[in-house]
């Protein structure tokens, strides 16, 4: 076991930076060895599923989007609804494939390479009966981080109401998810400009 301050090394820091977790531990759970067959299986899944995503986008979604020859506000409401419904199924499939590629294949591949023992990256969110349950289950890394470093300090140390603590966690999580999307889709400057105008 590692005890403080023996954990204050570059090796320990880099391990935490690359490990598939957001919560730091002095002693992370470790698996005994790296399984090569497991790595090959996860790597194969990533290649096949990303290729499938590309094909679905090219063959199913792109033809629908190419029929747009003018801005959406120049189409009738029924035409917009029709296009939205035609895009709904491929969009849903692409989202599910991306979820599996990232949360199952990629995170398990990284965990196996680092011999990281905790492999619970998501729980059965498809069985959730309400939105609260869904958010708790679909990304356990972010959920555990928010619970440990935001919710519990607000409720136990600052005496905040549990409902208000949950709302604060939801707002912070939503903000950072939006920031990520802003940078991914490169509309960050407009987002931060609007954020600045709202709060000043």
Q: Catalytic residue numbers?
A: 177
Dist CA 141 CA 162 (whole Å): 21
Q: Quick one: three-class SS letters along the chain? A: CCCCCCCCCHHHHHHHHHCCCCCCCCCCCECCCCCHHHHHHHHHHHHHHHHHHHHHHHHHHHHHHHCCCCCHHHCCHHHHHHHHHHHHHHHHHHHHHHHHHHHHHHHHHHHHHCCECCCCCCCCHHHCCCHHHHHHHHCHHHHHHHHHHHHHHHHHHCCCCHHHHHHHHHHHHHHHHHHHHHHHCCCHHHHHHHHHHHHC
Helix axes 36-56, 77-99, angle to 10 degrees: 170
108's tokens: 């398990």
Name the nearest CA neighbour of 80 among 61, 67, 62, 90: 67
């Amino acid at each position: 076991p590692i005890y403080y301050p023996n954990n204050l090394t570059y090796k320990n820091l880099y391990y935490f930076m690359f490990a598939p977790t957001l919560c730091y531990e002095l002693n992370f759970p470790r698996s005994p060895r790296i399984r090569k067959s497991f790595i090959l299986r996860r790597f194969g899944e990533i290649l096949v599923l990303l290729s499938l995503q590309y094909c679905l986008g090219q063959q199913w979604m792109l033809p629908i989007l190419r029929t747009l020859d003018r801005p959406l506000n120049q189409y009738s409401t029924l035409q917009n609804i029709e296009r939205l419904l035609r895009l709904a199924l491929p969009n849903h499939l692409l989202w599910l494939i991306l979820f599996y590629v990232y949360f199952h294949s990629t995170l398990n591949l990284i965990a196996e390479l680092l011999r990281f023992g905790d492999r619970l990256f998501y729980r059965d969110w498809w069985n959730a009966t309400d939105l609260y349950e869904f958010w708790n289950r679909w990304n356990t890394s972010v959920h555990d981080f928010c619970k440990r470093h935001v919710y519990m300090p607000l409720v136990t140390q600052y005496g905040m109401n549990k409902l208000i603590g949950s709302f604060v966690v939801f707002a912070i999580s939503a903000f950072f998810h939006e920031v990520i999307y802003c940078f991914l889709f490169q509309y960050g400057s407009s987002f931060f400009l609007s954020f600045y105008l709202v709060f000043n």
